[in-house]
Amino acid sequence: MTSTTQTTQAEATAAEIAQEERRSGARTLRRVVPYLWPDGRAWVKRRVVLALSMLIVAKLVAVGTPILYKGAVDALAGEGVPPVALGAIGLTVAYGVARMMTVGFQQLRDAIFAPVGQRALRQLALQTFRHIHRLSLRYHITRKTGGLSRIIERGVKGVDFLLRFMLFSIIPLIVELGLVAVILTVLFDVWYLVIVAVTIGLYVWFTFTVTEWRVKLRREMNTQDTDANQKAIDSLLNFETVKYFNAEEREAKRYDSAMRGYEAAALKTAYSLSFLNFGQSFLITCGLVGVMVLAALGVQSGALTVGDFVMVNAYMIQITVPLNFLGTVYREIRQSLVDMGEMFDLLEQPAEVSDKPGAKALNVERGQITLENLCFGYEAERLILKGVSLDVPGGQTVAVVGATGSGKSTIGRLLFRFYDVFGGALKIDGQDVRDVTQTSLHAAIGVVPQDTVLFNDTIRYNIGYGRDGATQAEIEEAARKAQIHDFIVSLPEGYDTMVGERGLKLSGGEKQRVGIARTLLKDPPILLLDEATSALDTDTEQEIKGALARAGEGRTVITIAHRLSTIAEADKIVVLEKGEIAEMGTHDELLTKGGRYAHLWQNQLVQDAV
């Protein structure tokens, strides 16, 4: 491949990236504008209009202020005619009042607009939070939680910045530059306008060009920041594992390696900022000197007064401040667009599992569960379940056993509709789970997983999570049924005891009992026990077994089990092997048959004996 061809392809790629970034920026702006002018929110529109009115008044006062300054200087120098009969002292006071009014109107503008910005920030944060919970389990398994939280954090902050500074920095700057240009042309000479216009044009071109380059550096810095943050969170979440393997120094090196990448990217960003600031200062200074030289020549020739010279200087300084700010604002706006673009990418991430249009609520009468030729795989080319058919009568307990990877837990995830099946159907009382609302489906199924994860809150909160608005009496009754009430009241703080992050302050058996109590409080007609005792010791398992038996009374129960001793009394036992049903029957029937189940049972008896 020739160098010319490579250059052409590189330019084409760069152009495509730039076009995509512009499209992303336009998309972001389209998503943000409705928060400034929402339908059916008259109070928001009134506040936006009032804030813009205060902005215009502030700029009119600001542009008129140097005229008062000129009048005071001329009055003191004995030149010209003061614009009003106030004298030097009066004009000086008026100048001070005008400056104070400018600041006052600006602060009033910010105060009026603040509820609009905060409302937008809260709504977008809530929208993002809800959308994340709508995304499928597959998405959450593949995404890194730390990186996800940082994307949301930066995106929400970007919204606040964009709303405030785009409305109150870019628009005011354009208004102020226009007014100053008109005054310089009318009161002085067109050459003043030419110098100012050329200076502003070069300044804006330089600022935007360098900032575009810096945005790429900033994006690299964000990537490194996200990576470092994720490694830190991942390490802290696995605190015990780190300790088990004496890996503190290894984790520190891993984190430092990520921070080294962030450091390099941050230094590039800092160096580029110094270059940008110097270039901006150089251009502004050249323009300022050019205009001041013209004014000085006018004073020397007698065409202008000293007050005119001072006024020109005041106007140049007045437009210099927002122009310097423009570099910062544009840079931050571009960065906000990048940050918000990542967040809106997240919002546009389609939910893999969603309700059908017009989906009805699940109606559970008997609680019968039917699997019809069920086919599913986490990857399309590798099926986990291969045509599984099973009928679970309402009110009965069916256990699903098999070797690791046989597809036991997958049936539970499909029942809860974390995923949709590839082929066949999964029905509850004849209703395909894909045809009913997810809310009603989830309300009908209670799950006790292998490892109950608790919120870093009180025991009361974690049990009460089973049903929103549950009373203390209902929470305690659920705890009694789960055989954990006596343990809770023996604690110094009782139900107000904090369980720690992910429930680490409780033992495995205590966590499982809290999980069972939470599910009992939910009171679902269908219960899914996903290897609920496999992580417990034998004695604790026997204690939990009684609580689980009570939990299953009057309900349809699917038990996914590894320890066969926990499911010997099930109404039906299904043995899975490589995604297919190898055999099915009661405990006694399967032992008599002498097949796969009997072999598994014999192996566990030998292990227990050892």
Distance CA 251, CA 231 (A): 9
Distance CA 390, CA 579 (A): 13
Residues 113 and 177 in one domain: yes
Most confident of 165-174, 232-241, 573-582: 573-582
Q: How far is CA 56 from CA 105, 117, 445, in A?
A: 9, 19, 59
Instruction: For residue 373, name the pLDDT band (cuts at 50, 70, 90).
Output: very high
Residues 306 and 429 in one domain: no
pLDDT of residue 489: 92
- From 299, 314, 347, the end of a domain falls on 347
pLDDT of residue 172: 75
pLDDT of residue 147: 61
Q: H or E segment at 406?
A: none
Location of structure tokens 């990520």: 258
Order the strands of the 431-432 sheet from edge to edge: 385-392, 369-376, 423-428, 431-432
Residues ≥6 apart with Cβ < 8 Å to 184: 192, 193, 196, 312, 315
Which segment of 109-123, 169-183, 401-415 scores lowest on mean pLDDT? Answer: 169-183
- Picking from 207, 311, 201, 217, the residue whose alpha carbon sits closest to that of residue 269 is 217
Q: Are strands 423-428 and 369-376 parallel, antiparallel or unpaired?
A: antiparallel
Distance CA 42, CA 220 (A): 41
User: Under a CB-based contact definition with an 8 Å cutoff, are residues 100 and 60 in contact?
Assistant: no
The CATH number of whichever domain residue 419 belongs to comes to: 3.40.50.300
Distance CA 399, CA 397 (A): 7
Asked, for residue 96, whether it belongs to a domain, the answer is: yes
Location of structure tokens 């909160």: 461
Residues 379 and 334 in one domain: no
pLDDT digits (tens, 9 = 90+) for 103-152: 888 888 888 888 887 887 788 778 777 777 777 666 665 565 556 666 77
Domain hosting 456: range is 369-609
Residue range 213-241: average pLDDT? 82
User: Residue 425 pairs with which residues in a beta bridge?
Assistant: 372
Is residue 283 pLDDT above 80, yes or no? yes
User: Residue 447 pairs with which residues in a beta bridge?
Assistant: 528
Asked, for residue 412, whether it belongs to a domain, the answer is: yes
Most confident of 29-33, 93-97, 328-332: 93-97
Region for residue 81 given its phi and psi (left: phi exceeds 0; alpha: psi -120 to 50; beta: otherwise): beta
DSSP characters over 371-414: EEEEEE-SBTTB-SEEEEEEEE-TT-EEEEEESTTSSHHHHHHH
Residue range 459-463: average pLDDT? 92
Is residue 537 pLDDT above 70, yes or no? no
- Picking from 166, 181, 183, 92, the residue whose alpha carbon sits closest to that of residue 100 is 92
Phi, psi at residue 436, to the nearest 5°? -115, 165
Distance CA 503, CA 510 (A): 9
Distance CA 308, CA 291 (A): 12
User: Under a CB-based contact definition with an 8 Å cutoff, are residues 376 and 455 in contact?
Assistant: no
Asked, for residue 44, whether it belongs to a domain, the answer is: yes
Type of residue found at 578: K
Order the strands of the 556-560 sheet from edge to edge: 445-448, 526-530, 556-560, 397-402, 572-577, 580-585
Residues 417 and 547 in one domain: yes
Q: How far is CA 590 from CA 477, 582, 595, in A?
A: 38, 11, 7
pLDDT of residue 426: 92
pLDDT of residue 208: 80
pLDDT of residue 503: 65
Is residue 16 pLDDT above 70, yes or no? no
Distance CA 101, CA 336 (A): 31
Residue range 15-27: average pLDDT? 53
Residues ≥6 apart with Cβ < 8 Å to 191: 294
Q: Is 584 helix (H, G, I), strand (E, B) or coil?
A: strand
For the range 295-298, what are the long-range contacts, defined as Cβ-Cβ under 8 Å and sequence gap of 24 or more? 295/188, 295/192, 298/188
Residue range 513-532: average pLDDT? 87
User: Under a CB-based contact definition with an 8 Å cutoff, are residues 395 and 368 in contact?
Assistant: no
Q: H or E segment at 537?
A: none
pLDDT digits (tens, 9 = 90+) for 53-96: 888 888 888 888 888 878 788 777 766 555 555 677 887 888 88
Which segment of 341-350, 405-414, 420-429, 432-441 scores lowest on mean pLDDT? Answer: 341-350
Asked, for residue 292, whether it belongs to a domain, the answer is: yes
CB count within 10 Å of CB 174 equals: 12
Residues 86 and 141 in one domain: yes
- The DSSP secondary-structure symbol of 169 reads I
Residues 382 and 293 in one domain: no
Residues 437 and 294 in one domain: no
Q: Is 369 helix (H, G, I), strand (E, B) or coil?
A: strand
User: Mean pLDDT over all residues of the chain?
Assistant: 81
pLDDT of residue 22: 44
Q: Are strands 385-392 and 369-376 parallel, antiparallel or unpaired?
A: antiparallel
Structure tokens that stand for 190 in this block: 């067109």
CB count within 10 Å of CB 153 equals: 14
Q: Are strands 580-585 and 572-577 parallel, antiparallel or unpaired?
A: antiparallel
Phi, psi at residue 507, to the nearest 5°? -75, 170
- Picking from 305, 316, 59, 8, the residue whose alpha carbon sits closest to that of residue 174 is 59
Phi, psi at residue 124, to the nearest 5°? -70, -40
Residues 297 and 409 in one domain: no
Phi, psi at residue 564, to the nearest 5°? -70, -25
Residues 307 and 197 in one domain: yes
Which segment of 411-415, 531-535, 573-577 scores lowest on mean pLDDT? Answer: 531-535
Residue range 349-365: average pLDDT? 84
Asked, for residue 1, whether it belongs to a domain, the answer is: no
Asked, for residue 26, whether it belongs to a domain, the answer is: no
Residues 208 and 77 in one domain: yes
Residue range 22-35: average pLDDT? 65
- Picking from 576, 520, 577, 508, the residue whose alpha carbon sits closest to that of residue 548 is 520
- What would the 3-class secondary structure string for 413-475 be? HHHCCCCCCCEEEEEECCEEHHHECHHHHHHHEEEECCCCCCCCCEHHHHHHCCCCCCCHHHH
Which segment of 54-63, 388-397, 437-446, 529-538 scores lowest on mean pLDDT? Answer: 529-538
The CATH number of whichever domain residue 84 belongs to comes to: 1.20.1560.10
User: Under a CB-based contact definition with an 8 Å cutoff, are residues 546 and 513 in contact?
Assistant: no
CB count within 10 Å of CB 475 equals: 25
User: Under a CB-based contact definition with an 8 Å cutoff, are residues 564 and 535 in contact?
Assistant: no
Asked, for residue 19, whether it belongs to a domain, the answer is: no
- Specify the pTM: 0.62
pLDDT of residue 463: 92
Domain count, the chain: 2
Asked, for residue 9, whether it belongs to a domain, the answer is: no
pLDDT of residue 476: 93
Residues 74 and 175 in one domain: yes
Is residue 21 pLDDT above 60, yes or no? no
User: Residue 498 pairs with which residues in a beta bridge?
Assistant: 458
Residue range 249-257: average pLDDT? 89
User: Under a CB-based contact definition with an 8 Å cutoff, are residues 537 and 525 in contact?
Assistant: no
Distance CA 116, CA 113 (A): 5
Instruction: For residue 609, name the pLDDT band (cuts at 50, 70, 90).
Output: low
* Residue count of the chain: 610
Residue range 299-314: average pLDDT? 85
Type of residue found at 339: D
Distance CA 338, CA 21 (A): 8
pLDDT of residue 137: 64
Residues 465 and 584 in one domain: yes
pLDDT of residue 7: 43
